[in-house]
Amino acid sequence: MRLRRRGIIAGVIGLVAVLVGAIPAVAATTSWATWQPLAGTGGAFTTTVQVAPHPALTATMTSDSRAGQVGVITGASTWLAEGTPIGAEYGSSRDQPYLNLRPRADNATSPSTTTYSFAAPTPTSGWAFALGDIDSDSVRIHAVAPDGHVLTAAEIGLRDLFNYCAPGVVGKPACTGAVGDVPTWDAATLTLTGNAAAADTNGSAAWFEPSTPIRSLSFIFTRRSGLPVYQTWFVSAANDIRGSVVDVDTGALGGVALALTDGNGTIVGRTTTAPDGTYSFPGFIATDGYRVSVTAPQGKIAVGETTTSVNLSSGNAEDVDFTVRDIVPSPVTGRVVDTEGNPIAGVVVTIDAQTRTTDADGRYLFDMVLDGLQEVTITVPAGYAVDTAPPGFVVPADNEDLITLTDFVIEANPSLSGVVRWNGGGVPGVTVTAVQQGGGTLTTVTGADGGYTFPRLPAGNYTVTMTTPDGYAATSPLSRTAPVAEMDVTGVDFDLARLGALDGTVRTDGGEPVGGVVIDVSGPVPAQLTTGADGTYSLGSLPPGNYELIVRAPEGTTIVGAGTRSVMISDVGESVEGQDFTLAAAVVPPSPSPSPEPSTGSSNSNGSGRIPATGLGAETFAWAAGGAAVILLGATLLVVARRRAGRK
């Protein structure tokens, strides 16, 4: 009987291949991201975005962009046409939403940071993002993988630089751009920079297709001139999975349950076969790593593997087929679960030198176990320990009934967790490492709520370290020691503060800017600044604290008003503007000595006659000198008059 069944299998599989193979392939479908409305206020915006529908690829966005013409835009007047490089791959984004954001403040030292924290790691293909309107600004990309490493330029995957408003772009919006007006890409710093003149233009853009899973994606947007914005699009492509299930004896088999898991091991779809034995999983993101698993009906087992790997990155997956047959004596089955009763997949089980691997339901099946006393063992997965195990069992001679063993119960090792906080809320995308004394190093990234977890840790002492993210300063120790024994360890938290900035201008009492003036800054970050030709100065990346600014009056000038200013940067990381100072020409008191002989040198013809480092004109000092001469002449005449009166 066994030989007859096995002889039929090849013929049935061949017939199914012919029938199912006749199903025509369907081209990939694309989906531009959908966004929730922008919530919050300037400096603290949030929203969520769905990059792909199946499986749902979603992210929570946080941004400290300033307010003003920011938010989710409809795409009715600005879009990426089918004639652009990304449009040729994914189709036009016309009438599809995108996001507009700005810097934190309109100066070069207050960039905004926008972070997308994905609910699950992104796939290795099948999705893309584009950044637009990169002209009088720059954008640095910072992406962190699930294992905590920062993605390289090759992994981020720049595909092309283009201008979506350029002449000749098929289907472009009603905007005017230049073919050569595209951003430059610095692979070393992962930065896109607009045109060399930092001019406000139209259509300069770039698009990327990451090849490495991403947990956290950040864009650091810096103003170079003007009042810039930048645009963000996400898009995905999807393909279908189709196949069938047949019985070696009866042919097509309806009502058979199948499950689809993604590259993260998450079940993302379930279905059952139609009466003709066919099934499909339509519209799943076009990437690799999928697995289709079949659950054989009661009394049957699969012929060959119960799970098949599927790659959708290059098109639809056809003929993902399974074959089942009746169980032959003596079958033995059981499960591996954790202490909460949750199934554990991928555990290797051994009976009489035969091995099986548990499926998504934690179940294993041996269909040809010899009679007699048998023992079942497992290879305990990393991070677990056996809590209870089935006892030895006896397979009766000539048994044809399924033998079901008691469950293997394994217990997870304890976890270590905490939160990275700023201003009372969690900070996503922060890298945290845990180093076991005498052991290895583990790395993770905080989620959308700022929380992190190291699950299933062996007992020992751990040093947990936070990597301070860009734009922040730590207000708690960067490392903490945490012993792990039998219970979960919580509350290993870290605190951050935002970095601030300050700026100001030095002018004359007539309102003219004064360059070359020295400003001394004392505080947590001491510095010495010098005003530029336009009289301005600025200082960024300032941790919280009190700062004092003291202006040094150049020779020949005096300070009008306060020469010292106090600035306080809080944990919020303010950008404190308008710390201005005013200078005037110093009035020289009259001298009793005779006036010097008039100069016989050549007249000054070198420019405006401004005194260096003051910004004050020679005419100011000429008026002051004339006034002093009048005072001196009057004093002399008074002395002469008194002497004459005395003689009389």
The answer to whether residue 357 scores a pLDDT higher than 90 is yes
* Contact in structure between 217 and 135 (CB atoms under 8 Å): no
Give residue 304's pLDDT band: very low, low, confident or very high (50, 70, 90): confident
Overall average pLDDT of the 203-231 stretch: 98
**Dihedrals φ, ψ of 89, to 5°?**
-90, -40
Check whether 590 has a pLDDT greater than 70: no
- What is the overall mean pLDDT for the chain? 88
Instruction: Write the burial class of residue 390 (CB in 10 Å: 0-12 exposed, 13-18 middle, 19+ buried).
Output: middle
Contact residues for 8 (Cβ-Cβ < 8 A; gap 6+): 248, 249
Question: In the prediction, which pLDDT does 643 show?
Answer: 43
In this structure, the strands spanning 557-560 and 581-585 are antiparallel
Contact 571, 529 (CB under 8 A): no
Predicted pLDDT of residue 329? 60
What is the CATH architecture assignment of 499-596+608-648?
Sandwich (2.60)
Average pLDDT over residues 435-439: 92
CATH topology classification for 416-497: Immunoglobulin-like (2.60.40)
pLDDT score of 243: 98
Of 299 and 131, the structure prediction assigns the larger pLDDT to: 131
Q: Which residues pair with 385 in a beta bridge?
A: 411
Q: Residue 261 forms beta bridges with which residues?
A: 267, 291
pLDDT, residue 6, reads 36
Distance, CA of 193 to CA of 215 (rounded, Å):
25
Confidence of residue 323 (pLDDT cuts 50, 70, 90): very high
Whole-angstrom distance, CA of residue 298 vs CA of residue 334: 14
Q: What is the pLDDT of residues 553-573, one digit of tens each?
A: 999 999 999 999 999 999 999
Higher pLDDT, 598 or 141: 141
Tokens 């003051």 appear where? 614
Residue 533 DSSP SS3: coil
More confident residue, 381 or 593: 381
Count other Cβ atoms within 10 Å, centred on residue 340: 8
* Nearest in space to 269 (alpha carbons), one of 29, 56, 32, 125: 56
Cα distances (angstroms) measured from residue 307 to each of 147, 268, 310, 471, 513: 27, 15, 10, 46, 74
Domains 416-497 and 499-596+608-648 belong to one CATH topology:
yes
pLDDT range class, residue 399, cuts 50, 70, 90? confident
593: confidence class by pLDDT, cuts 50, 70, 90? low
* First-to-last C-alpha distance (Å) of the chain: 158
Confidence of residue 592 (pLDDT cuts 50, 70, 90): low
466: how many CB neighbours lie within 10 A of its CB?
A: 26
Dump the DSSP string for 370-427.
PSEEE-EEE-PPTTEEEEE-PPPEEE-TT--SPEEPPPEEEEEPP-EEEEEEETTEE-
Task: Report which listed range, 305-309, 516-520, 601-605, 619-623, is most confident.
Answer: 516-520
Local structure of 43: helix, strand or coil: coil
Residue pair 65/276 in contact by the 8 Å Cβ criterion: no
With contact defined as beta carbons under 8 Å apart, do 423 and 62 qualify?
no
Does 55 have pLDDT greater than 70? yes
* β-pair partners for 210: none
pLDDT at 400: 76
Q: Which residues contact 44 (CB under 8 A, 6 or more apart)?
A: 62, 64
Band the pLDDT of 23: cuts 50, 70, 90: very low
Q: Percent of the chain, pLDDT > 90?
A: 79
Is it the case that residue 1 has pLDDT exceeding 70? Answer: no
pLDDT at 367: 84
DSSP reduced 3-state for 480: strand
Domain locations along the chain: 30-237, 416-497, 499-596+608-648
Task: Evaluate if residue 4 carries a pLDDT over 50.
Answer: no
> pLDDT grade, residue 253 (50/70/90)?
very high
Query: pLDDT digit string (tens) for 142-166?
Result: 999 999 999 999 999 999 999 999 9
Give the mean pLDDT of 320-324: 96
What type of residue sits at position 216? S
Q: Which tens digits make up the pLDDT trace of 467-507?
A: 999 999 999 999 999 999 989 999 999 999 999 999 999 99
3-state SS class at 645? helix
DSSP for 277-337, written as a single string = SEEEEEEEES-S-EEEEEEPPTTEEESS-SEEEE--TTS-B----EEEEEPPSPPEEEEEE
Whether the pLDDT of residue 402 is over 80: the answer is yes
* Span of 12-21, 62-71, 172-181, 422-431 with lowest mean pLDDT: 12-21
Q: Which residues contact 336 (CB under 8 A, 6 or more apart)?
A: 343, 344, 347, 349, 358, 362, 364, 378, 407, 408, 410
Q: What is the pTM of this model?
A: 0.70
The SS3 call for residue 549 is strand
Predicted confidence (pLDDT) at residue 21 exceeds the cutoff of 50: no
Is residue 630 helix, strand or coil? helix
pLDDT band at 79 (very low <50, low <70, confident <90, very high): very high
Helical spans, DSSP H, in 62-164: 85-90, 153-156
Residue linked to tokens 């047949």: 246
- Identify the weakest region by mean pLDDT among 13-17, 278-282, 398-402, 465-469: 13-17
Is the confidence at residue 604, as pLDDT, over 60? no
